[in-house]
Chains A and B, each alone.
Chain A
Amino acid sequence: ETGVTQTPRHLVMGMTNKKSLKCEQHLGHNAMYWYKQSAKKPLELMFVYSLEERVENNSVPSRFSPECPNSSHLFLHLHTLQPEDSALYLCASSPELAGKYNEQFFGPGTRLTVL
């Protein structure tokens, strides 16, 4: 596997379910990100991890819980979600924290539907 992979690609869950999204990067990068992309809205940055430490949490509801066990893996644990949480969730990585000259590499996303 190369680049950034995400599983599952599609997920349908009820509001009382608990599920997890997984992201894995094979690029040797040190920073990883979760974004939410809703229809007709800009990309929303949710969480940023650098060297496995969370460096940014953009006022995301506690029903979303990230986990970064090592620099190659990033999880997003979901529980008691709402229908408005239905969106495409994108994971990205970059060599260091995005800024200067380091572009982010994106995974294909998980299309989440909350019933």
Chain B
Amino acid sequence: AQKVTQAQTEISVVEKEDVTLDCVYETRDTTYYLFWYKQPPSGELVFLIRRNSFDEQNEISGRYSWNFQKSTSSFNFTITASQVVDSAVYFCALSEGDKLSFGAGTTVTVRA
């Protein structure tokens, strides 16, 4: 069974639009960690954020914000005022114990 579901395969927006990436996870652990990674065309996955299961505070970092809802097992990611450089594949991941499970990724294309 898939532990991390990213229902959106591809999203295309025009520059300056906001874009929200959905991530739904499944776990029986009470302690776990959630991550978002960005994979630009160069290929390297870049760490964006880590959130532990006990901290449901939303976080904002520049144009990026994350909404963690434990009640719905979701950890959504919003890019505000998108830019062409935001074009990439974004992965959500769940860490339980010593395993890290990735979602299938969402490809974001920002058009000028």
Interface residues of A (CB under 8 A from B): 41-43, 45, 55, 88, 90, 92, 97-101, 103-109, 111
Tell me whether B72 is interfacial, beta carbon within 8 Å.
no
Residues of A within 8 A of B33 (CB): 99-101
Give the size of the chain B interface in residues (CB under 8 angstroms).
23
Q: Are A107 and B44 closer than 8 Å at their CB atoms?
A: yes
User: Given the interface contacts A109-B43, A111-B43, does A99 sit within 8 Å of B98 by beta carbon?
Assistant: yes
B73 within 8 A of A: no
Contact A108 B43 (CB under 8 A): yes
Decide: A98 and B95 in contact? CB cutoff 8 A: yes
**Extra inter-chain contacts (4) besides given A43-B102, A100-B95, CB under 8 Å:** A42-B104, A99-B99, A103-B47, A109-B43
Given contacts A42-B105, A43-B91, contact A99 B44 (CB under 8 A): no
What is the interface of chain B mostly: helix, strand, loop, or mixed? strand
Is B100 on the interface with A (CB-CB < 8 A)?
yes
A97 to B95, CA, bound (A): 10
**Complex: chain B residue closest to A9, CB-CB:** B43
CA distance A45 to B4 in the complex (A): 14
- In the complex, the chain A residue whose C-beta lies closest to that of B105 is A42
Residue-wise interface mask of B (60-95) relative to A, using a CB-CB cutoff of 8 A (1 in contact, 0 not) = 000000000000000000000000000000010001
Chain B: which residue is nearest A44 at the CB level?
A: B102
Nearest CB of chain A from residue B64's CB, rounded to whole Å: 16
Contact residues of A: prevailing secondary structure: loop
Against A, the Cβ 8 Å flags (1 = close, 0 = not) of B3-37 are 00000000000000000000000000001010101
B42: Cβ under 8 A from any A Cβ = yes
Collect the chain B residues with CB atoms within 8 Å of residue A107's CB: 44
Candidates A41, A90, A98; contact of B98 at CB < 8 Å? A98
Q: Which residues of B contact A97 (CB under 8 A)?
A: 98
* Closest-CB distance, A73 to chain B (whole angstroms): 19
- Is B52 on the interface with A (CB-CB < 8 A)? yes
